[in-house]
Chain A
Amino acid sequence: MQGFLENFGGMSLGILGAGLAVVLAGIGSAKGTGMAGEAGAGLLCEDPSKFGKVMILQVIPGTQGIYGFVVGFLALMFMGVLDGTAVGMSITEGFRYFVACMPIALGGWISAIAQGRVAVAAINILAKKPDDWAKGMILCITVEFYAILSLLVSVFILLYI
């Protein structure tokens, strides 16, 4: 047991963090794009010609999943999982990678759901006032900023610890 923890404990923690960054941010994005997609499908029943705009609004909450993936990938790369040098990583170091992944995991998760709600509302704008749909898009992007901040802090921790 002691030997296992020494050889793989740090790496496991790091990989757990990378996984959570991808999965939690992904869950958020899946929920966000899911909500927006449902609302969009309702609108498309009435007016299929709005597909392009509906799709843009739907994919906006999808970016958090990408951010999570970016951080997860960077973490795996820096840990050396991709070239097999991660074995034997100390627990302290593994825990650092775990912590580095948390900002985007949590920030991405929750901001994507919040953004999905705004996207649903923006699809309402698109249905009722089609000329003003760009304003709905702007409201969506406002939420995006906090996911970007989470992404940056995760990357900073990865780069500078």
Chain B
Amino acid sequence: MSIVRMKKISLIAVRSQKDALLRDLQSLGCVEFSEPEPVAEDAELHDLIARETSELEKYRSDQAGLIRGLMLLDRYAPEKSGLFEPRQEITESALLDESGAAGALALAERLEHLDGQLKRLSVLETQHKSLLESLEPWKELTIPLDCNGTEKTAVVLGTLPAGADPEAVGGILTAAAPEAALLAVSSSKELHYLVLICLKEKLPEALDALRACGFAPSPLKDLVGTAEANMEHTRQRLQEMADEKQELYRQIEAEAPRKNELKRCIDLLAAKIARAEAAERLLGTERAVLLSGWVPAPEEPKLLEVLSKYDCAWSTADPAPEEYENVPVKLKNNALTAPLTMVTEMYSLPSYDGVDPNPLMMPFFVLFYGFMMADAGYGLIMILAALLVKRKKPRGGAKNFFDLLLMCGISTLLFGIVTGGFFGDALKQIFGLFGKTFTLPYTPLFDPLNDTQLVLVGALALGGFQVLVGMAVSFIKQTADGHFLDALFDVGSWWLLFAGIALGALGVTWWVAVAGVAALVLTQGRSKPTIIGKLASGIGSLYNITGYFGDILSYSRLMALMLAGGVIAQVFNTLAALTGNIVTFFLIFLVGHALNLGLNLLGCYVHDLRLQCLEFFGKFYKDGGRPFSPLKFNTKYTTITK
């Protein structure tokens, strides 16, 4: 329940054992590889030592290909799967077995090839469909489309705007070229489709006259035979293409059972990529490789046991305080506090010399959540949902989420019992439907809507308590770091002032408060060089009283959310009961409470988060830690069983 102590490790191994060593370290999963220090300036050394290289790029592009293949399979042969489907389990040696890799890569390539063909067909299909559309108006034309006239006559296909009157245009045409004829083929909303036939020598005059009326020649190039024949042919081609596509779909779908093979190979490559990334952080000479990195102190014996099998030399050391900002941070948590890692990570990890906030925050987070939700029905739903999902063994972030949901659900249930809320006042309304009155078998401690002031005072008191705990943590931490006087001045003075205000408000004496103010004025400017500076920042620090005041008032949100959830639940119940019918009651009840529950789950989480990260962490937290990321298996689709 604290930040794990790290040790710096330096190791020199012989090159021939490099790959085996990396594999063992990955299996162990407890060594983080640091970026190597720049190679010595010394020119002689510079030639001898170089950073290691690997086939990282090749692995990455292979993996990307496999992922594309898997996505294609998912797209063309989708599988119904739940949100928390258990992953396939596999032993480490089976995962690292490379014999299936070539097959999986070939499969991915084949899938991409098939997809390429499908895309090409789709483009062709669109082209043919638009051709079909452009031929449609000429369907009635019996002249072949490639005919541009006889020995003496010219034939031109063209269109006129729908607004033009064909007879008037015919008149204009006859005036320009007496032997010309304009034959209508078909009309649509926008255009008339026409054929112009005239003597070849009169063609320019005829076209000029028609252009003035809006005539546009629209030749159908490269087509032989009548429009009808062309359309028939195009339709045939479209049918063929559809068949071809079906066949391709079928071929892709036939590969669907091999999805797991792809997934396993993606994870295999992920392992190889992790190893290659680590290898690129090594320095190497002709015969040896040099590793520098971090290992958690409790895991050191395990690591040394593995290293003893190899021909290598190593040393471990505790980091010096000036190195602390580079030390990776790993939090050690038990089952109760681990779920809070979610909250800590969303904010920022503590620095290596900071405090692990999870155990401190856990009781408050869960308590506040229950306080805000405070409904036995909602609590039960949260507990059930968490237990249902937990049966499927979610991992990592999802596991933390549902563990947190379970804890908050229990707390919500308890607060619901205390306040007598079960889906708002659902029981009362349901009994009312049958003309009975419902009374709880016990008296609730308080009823949020009637004891509003009590709830508000309770919320502020809880807040005040959390702020004091935060300050106490800061006091202990500073004392442990050997800054007892700082702790006394920075935290002690404030406590003196708070105690003084409390005593004064109770009518005992105001002198303690005065002493607190004096202590603040005298100590808070101690880092300033001049007397005036010291006094000025001492007096300025009194302004922080508004900060503490605001922090504690901020906890009134606990009351606000508790009441809002309760009011909305009751309104939906009343609305449902108005219908006077048990069936419609449950319909409205379901919709209303689903809305209210969803809203409250989110709202309470966010406001709880805010109270922890702003009001609580602000008192003691030192953030900026870098997460510990050792070389390990980071599988996405499989779970490794030892």
Seen from chain A, the residues whose Cβ lies within 8 Å of a Cβ on chain B are 60, 63, 66-67, 70, 73-74, 77, 82, 134-135, 137-138, 141-142, 144-145, 148-149, 151-152, 155-156, 159
Contact = CB atoms under 8 A, between A and B. Distances in A.
Contact of A74 (B560, B561, B571): B571
A145 B560 contact: yes
B348 to A, nearest CB: 13
Contacts of A141: 602-603, 606-607
Given A74-B571, A141-B602, A152 B560 contact: yes
21 contacts: A60-B602, A63-B599, A70-B567, A70-B568, A70-B571, A73-B571, A73-B575, A74-B567, A77-B574, A135-B346, A137-B602, A138-B609, A141-B602, A141-B606, A142-B606, A144-B603, A145-B607, A149-B560, A151-B567, A152-B560, A159-B449
Interface in B70-111: none
Contacts of B452: 156
Contacts of A138: 606, 609
Given A63-B599, A159-B449, A145 B574 contact: no
B578 to A, nearest CB: 7
Contacts of A134: 346
Closest 9 CB pairs of A and B: A141-B606, A70-B571, A148-B564, A138-B606, A155-B567, A70-B568, A148-B560, A152-B560, A152-B563
Q: Is the interface of B mostly helix, strand, loop or mixed?
A: helix
A72 to B, nearest CB: 10
Contacts of B568: 66-67, 70
A144 B564 CA distance: 12
Interface in B551-607: 557, 560-561, 563-564, 567-568, 571, 574-575, 578, 595, 599, 602-603, 606-607
A60 B599 CA distance: 8
Interface of B: 346, 449, 452, 557, 560-561, 563-564, 567-568, 571, 574-575, 578, 595, 599, 602-603, 606-607, 609-610
Q: Is the interface of A mostly helix, strand, loop or mixed?
A: helix
Nearest to A59: B598
A145 B575 CA distance: 25
A152 B534 CA distance: 46
A134 B609 CA distance: 13
A35 to B, nearest CB: 19
A145 B557 contact: yes
B449 A148 contact: no
Contacts, number: 48
Contacts of A142: 606, 610
A117 to B, nearest CB: 18
Contact of B603 (A73, A148, A152): A148
Contacts of B571: 70, 73-74
A82 B578 contact: yes
A82 B577 CA distance: 13
B597 to A, nearest CB: 13
Nearest to A159: B449
Given A82-B578, A145-B607, A148-B564, 18 more contacts: A60-B602, A63-B599, A66-B595, A70-B568, A70-B571, A74-B571, A135-B346, A138-B609, A141-B603, A141-B606, A142-B606, A144-B603, A145-B603, A148-B560, A148-B603, A149-B560, A152-B560, A159-B449
Contacts of B557: 145
Nearest to B557: A145
B459 to A, nearest CB: 13
Contacts of B346: 134-135
Nearest to B595: A66
Nearest to B602: A141
A118 B568 CA distance: 24
Contacts of B602: 60, 137, 141
Nearest to B342: A134
A140 B562 CA distance: 20
A77 B449 CA distance: 17
Most interface-central of A67, A73, A145, A149 (chain B CB within 10 A): A145
A62 to B, nearest CB: 9
A60 B598 CA distance: 10
B400 to A, nearest CB: 13
A153 B355 CA distance: 40
A137 B571 CA distance: 26
B424 to A, nearest CB: 12
Contacts of A151: 564, 567
A85 B564 CA distance: 28
B599 to A, nearest CB: 6
Contacts of B564: 148, 151-152
Contacts of A66: 568, 595, 599
A148 B606 contact: no
A63 B561 CA distance: 14
A118 to B, nearest CB: 12
Contacts of B606: 137-138, 141-142
Contacts of A67: 568
Contacts of B563: 152, 155
B580 to A, nearest CB: 12
Contacts of A60: 602
A43 to B, nearest CB: 19
B486 to A, nearest CB: 34
A156 B456 CA distance: 13
B76 to A, nearest CB: 15
A74 to B, nearest CB: 6
Most interface-central of B603, B606, B609 (chain A CB within 10 A): B606
A137 B564 CA distance: 20
B447 to A, nearest CB: 12
Contacts of A82: 578
Nearest to B578: A82
Contacts of A148: 560-561, 564, 603
A52 to B, nearest CB: 10
A71 to B, nearest CB: 9
Nearest to B449: A159
A123 to B, nearest CB: 16
A135 B610 CA distance: 12
Nearest to A82: B578
Nearest to A73: B571
A148 B606 CA distance: 14
Contacts of A152: 560, 563-564, 567
